[in-house]
Amino acid sequence: MPFVTSHMSISLDGFVAGPDQSEDNPLGIDGITLHHWHLNDPKHQVDEAFTHRLLGTRGAYIMGRNMFGPVRGEWGDSDWHGWWGSEPPYHAPVFVLTHYPHDPIEMEGGTIFRFVDSFDTALAEATREAGDRPIDVAGGASAVRQALQAGCLDELVLDIVPVVLGSGERIFDDLLEVTAEPVETATSPLATHIVYRIT
Write the pLDDT tens digit of every residue in 97-113.
999 999 999 999 999 99
H or E segment at 46?
A: helix 45-54
For residue 154, the model assigns a pLDDT of 98
Contact predicate 10/34, CB 8 Å? yes
Q: First-to-last CA distance in the chain?
A: 16
For residue 176, the model assigns a pLDDT of 85
Peptide bond into 110 cis (omega under 30): no
- What region, left, alpha or beta, does residue 91 occupy, with left being phi > 0 and alpha being psi -120 to 50 degrees? left
Angstrom CA distances, 148 to 11, 13, 24, 41, 174, stand at: 19, 19, 30, 33, 11
Measure the CA–CA gap between 18 and 20, rounded to whole angstroms: 7
Q: Domain 4-19+28-68+88-192 classified CATH 3.40.430.10?
A: yes
Angstrom CA distances, 74 to 65, 71, 84, 99, stand at: 12, 8, 22, 9
Measure the CA–CA gap between 62 and 158, rounded to whole angstroms: 17
Mean pLDDT of each 10-residue bin along the chain, 199 residues long:
96 96 92 97 97 96 95 92 95 97 97 98 98 97 96 98 97 92 98 97
Measure the CA–CA gap between 3 and 126, rounded to whole angstroms: 11
Give the predicted TM-score (pTM) of the model: 0.96
Contact predicate 35/167, CB 8 Å? no
Q: What residue spans define the domains of the chain? A: 4-19+28-68+88-192
- Give all strands (DSSP E) within 71-173, no chain letters: 93-97, 105-106, 112-116, 135-139, 155-161, 169-170
